[in-house]
Homo-oligomer: A and B are copies of this chain.
Amino acid sequence: MNQDMAGLKERIHATDREVFFSVLSHIGDKWSLVLLGMLSKEPMRYTQLAERIPKISRRMLTVTLRQLERDGLVERIVHADTPPWFEYDLTELGRTLIVPVRALADWTLDNIDLIIEKRAQYDQENPGS
Residues of A within 8 A of B (CB): 15-16, 19-21, 23-30, 33, 66, 69-72, 93, 96-97, 99-101, 103-109, 111-112, 114-116, 118-119, 122-123, 129
Contact A70 B123, CB 8 Å, known A93-B114, A107-B97: yes
CA distance in complex: A105, B109 (Å): 20
A-B CB proximity, top 9 nearest = A28-B28, A72-B118, A100-B103, A70-B122, A100-B104, A100-B107, A23-B108, A25-B28, A71-B115
- Whether A104 contacts B104 by the Cβ 8 Å rule is yes
**What DSSP secondary structure best describes chain A's contact surface?**
helix
Chain B residues, Cβ within 8 Å of A123: 70
Q: Is the CB–CB distance between B101 and A20 below 8 Å?
A: no
Residue of B nearest to A91 (CB): B118
Asked if residues B24 and A104 are in contact (CB atoms below 8 Å), the reply is yes
Which of A24, A93, A118 is the most central at the interface, judged by chain B CB atoms within 10 Å of its CB? A24
Q: Closest B-chain residue to A119, C-beta based? A: B70
Question: By the criterion CB–CB under 8 Å, are B20 and A109 in contact?
Answer: yes
Pairwise interchain contact A19-B112, C-beta atoms closer than 8 A:
yes
